[in-house]
Amino acid sequence: MPAMFVFKAAVVGAGTMGGEIAHVLAGAGVPVILKDLDGELVERGIARARSLWQAAVDAGKVEPSEAERRAALISGTTSYAGFGEVDLVIEAVPERMELKEAVFSELDEVTPSHAILASNTSALSITEIGQATSRPDKVVGLHFFYPASVMRLIEVVEGEDTSPETAAAASAFAQRIRKTPIRCVDAPGFVVNRILTAAVAELWRFQEQTGNQPRELDRIVTEAKVAPVGPFQLADLLGLDTVLHVAEHLRDCYGDRFYVHEGMRRLVAEGRLGAKSKAGFYEHA
């Protein structure tokens, strides 16, 4: 079977990750439709992509004309207009299985039969998501890492029904958009989040047992050059609701060795979700 070529793509979900993913795709020369139910979110996602190119222009890395050419490859919509022409869709909606299943069921109806349907989920089952469609063989995980505009790694997650051709095409596309793919099977947390959460959970446990301030532990981690960003600051950047969901999911799957931070749970209940709500473990401007 000849390798599939993606002439046009779409991203569903115009939040922080959706805007960044659209930026990455357009930056590789792929026309992309950015879709969300809220027109304001769509505009914000496109503005996010434009701001990243403007930063590159300001740094002298990209010519203004080239930045404008790339930005013009992104179009926005609040419907599925144009989805009949895409070869690949990347879903980037919130981490709730019922929402993702609903989106994939809709995508199954509005996209061509050859199109690959990919999820940016960080932990949920690709196999289960694929069962919401009539083409589970063409459903795959394409898990980008935040910020997608910078991070080179991407997980290509193969569900139980994902065909070898789909996995190979997704890996080839990841390389085309200048990412480094790692292929993995459909297991809770995949590779990166299973390792990362296992390590970070011990810091969460230590913080609650000792009462040390999150800011102090972040300082120790960064000064020791263990990581460029401390675990509490990273959680704020990713969104505490998303991080909490992943932590709870892994705890449910693997047991209490995956600790869930109770302080984080309280912050989420209060609507303090990190940078996106201007407050979490830290205050954000």
- How far lies 206's CA from each of 73, 164, 199, in Å? 47, 43, 11
Cα–Cα distance between 159 and 263 in angstroms, integer?
Answer: 34
Strand 88-91 and strand 9-12: the pairing is: parallel
Terminal Cα-to-Cα distance of the chain (whole angstroms): 51
CB-facing half-sphere around the CA of 51: CA atoms within 13 A: 9
Sheet holding 153-158, edge to edge: 74-77, 32-35, 9-12, 88-91, 116-119, 139-144, 153-158, 180-185
Task: Say if CB 151 and CB 23 are below 8 A apart.
Answer: no
Strand 88-91 and strand 116-119: the pairing is: parallel
Rg (CA), the chain: 19
Decide if 143 is catalytic: yes
Cα–Cα distance between 111 and 118 in angstroms, integer?
Answer: 12
Q: Which of 23, 114, 143, 261 is catalytic?
A: 143
Catalytic residues: 143
